[in-house]
Amino acid sequence: MRNRWVKTEKFELEKAAGRRLFGIFGNPMTSDPSVQGKRYNTGNTNIILHGGQLLALMEGAPPVALDPRKLDTLHEETYGGLVTSSFSAHPKIDYATREMINTGAAIHGMMGPAEMRYDVVAADGTIRKTEIIPMPHFSLMHTFLLTENWAIFPFIPIDTDLKRFAAGGPMTAWVNDRPTKFAVMPREGTADQIKWFEFEPRHMFHELNVWEEDGKIIADVAAANGTALFPDETGARRTHGDTQQSLRRWTIDPTGNTGWIKEEVLNGRDIQFPRPDDRLMTRKSRHSFANINLKSRDGRVEGMDAVLRYDTQTGEEDIWHFGAGAAAGELVFAPRLGSTDEADGYAMTLVHPANSGTSELAIFAAKDIAAGPIARVLIPFRVPSGFHCNFYAEDNPLYQQTLAN
């Protein structure tokens, strides 16, 4: 294994100072004067292969290119100066085209107009299409939804407001009674073709998969009716138990009457980070891989202690519990070499056992999670927790483009 810091400008400045210099989320009002005008980039949310590069992502800044073997930090990737601000850590890789489609919210910062970018990055790593899209408010849009023909931008009721912060309120807050707004645009379309939809207030940071069926958009997502991550406008914060996420299916008619959205709960467990077999992204899939919280320790809500495979077609659950107090990271699917069938392969997660300074990589047969790990990589120290991860087999075209030579 190899583990290295992503040495962004923020990292180097704070290392040299020997202390923290940037405010939370780079808030300029609470940052040290020495870093005014400097880039807040943590590069800590996701890591992907695309366009022949290994890229570390966080949603508020351009990606950071790393040496794909040594993991040394190389440079910020601005795509020829086109991406100079936010770039989501949840890009969509369409394996049919090998394009990367992504968004960047609040591209002018919090003092400029509320606009976002929509970028289509070709397989060779060059941007071939950009669209500037108006935002109804400075929503914390952590992800977006994509099918073969549609791009869907969810504006949830979490927003960032510097005026509210200056008046003594929370900078980022859940705005009670604000509807969730969806901008639905043809994937190859323009902003003037957007159709707007509204739905009840929902918190949604991560989707399982999205596709089209009978002319409708089907989006399987981890969603809740509120959030405990941020307070509301008054500073009051709800509990995790009151706002835990479940796996839900949103059905949107992109050509019908504005406002037509249907929601159903597929699985009511406390779920995080649902993932498909990534090769089917934007195409219909049935298997969800996720980490879940069985609440095996009284009052424990800050960690996920189990992993789940859920069949959205049959409702079958396949669960493995790591024990009280354990914390499991994102469960990622790894295809068997040469396989093309959905979920034919393995699923793996990084686990922190309870009351231990160690870590382990637990590997499962993807369709038999309940049988327990078929292999465990025991690591005699604590590997820091992360948010998202990816696996690339040697027959993956993104791996071959980046590493085979």
Tens-binned pLDDT, residue by residue, of the chain (405 aa): 899 999 999 999 999 999 999 998 888 888 999 999 899 999 999 999 999 999 999 999 999 999 999 999 999 999 999 999 999 999 999 999 999 999 999 888 877 899 999 999 999 999 999 999 999 999 999 999 999 999 999 999 999 888 898 899 998 999 998 999 999 999 999 999 999 999 999 999 999 999 999 999 999 999 999 998 899 999 999 888 788 899 999 999 998 766 678 999 999 999 999 999 999 999 999 999 999 998 755 444 457 899 999 999 999 999 999 998 899 999 999 999 999 999 999 999 999 998 889 999 999 999 999 999 999 999 999 998 889 999 999 999 999 999 876
Rounded CA separation 192/20 (Å) = 43
Q: Give the right CATH number for 9-404 from 2.130.10, 3.40.50, 1.20.272, 1.10.3470.
A: 2.130.10
The one-letter code for the residue type at 114 is A
In angstroms, the CA 60 to CA 106 distance is 9
Helix and strand numbers, DSSP H then E, in the chain = 4, 27
Distance in angstroms (rounded) separating the CA atoms of residues 111 and 99? 32
Please tell me the distance from the alpha carbon of residue 252 to that of residue 61, in angstroms, as a whole number.
Answer: 31
Question: Which DSSP string corresponds to 186-217?
Answer: ETT--GGG-EEEEES--EEEEEEEEEEETTEE
Which of 174, 158, 161 is closest to 233 using CA atoms?
174
Question: 0.75 cut: is pTM over it?
Answer: yes
Q: What is the secondary structure of 299-318 as a DSSP string? A: T--SS--EEEEEETTT--EE
Beta-bridge partner residues of 121: 100, 127
Question: At residue 151, what is the residue type?
Answer: A
In angstroms, the CA 277 to CA 286 distance is 9
Tell me how far apart the alpha carbons of residues 42 and 164 are, in angstroms, rounded to a whole number: 25
Instruction: Using alpha carbons, list the distances in angstroms from residue 356 to 182, 325, 364.
Output: 44, 10, 22
Give me the sign of the Cα torsion angle 210, 216, 222, 223: positive
Q: Cα dist. 345→269, 350, 374 in Å? A: 24, 17, 12
Q: What are 309's strand-pairing partners?
A: 289, 318
Query: What gap in Å lies between CA 288 and CA 276, rounded to an integer?
Result: 5
Token pair recorded at residue 288:
């969800």
Boundaries of every domain in the chain: 9-404
What is the Cα Rg of the chain in Å? 21
- What six digits make up the tokens of 171? 């900078």
The rounded distance, in Å, linking the Cα atoms of 171 and 230 is 10
Scanning the structure block, which residue is given the tokens 């709800």?
A: 238
Half-sphere exposure of 369 (CA within 13 A, CB side): 27
Q: Burial level of 124, CB count in 10 A (0-12/13-18/19+)? A: exposed
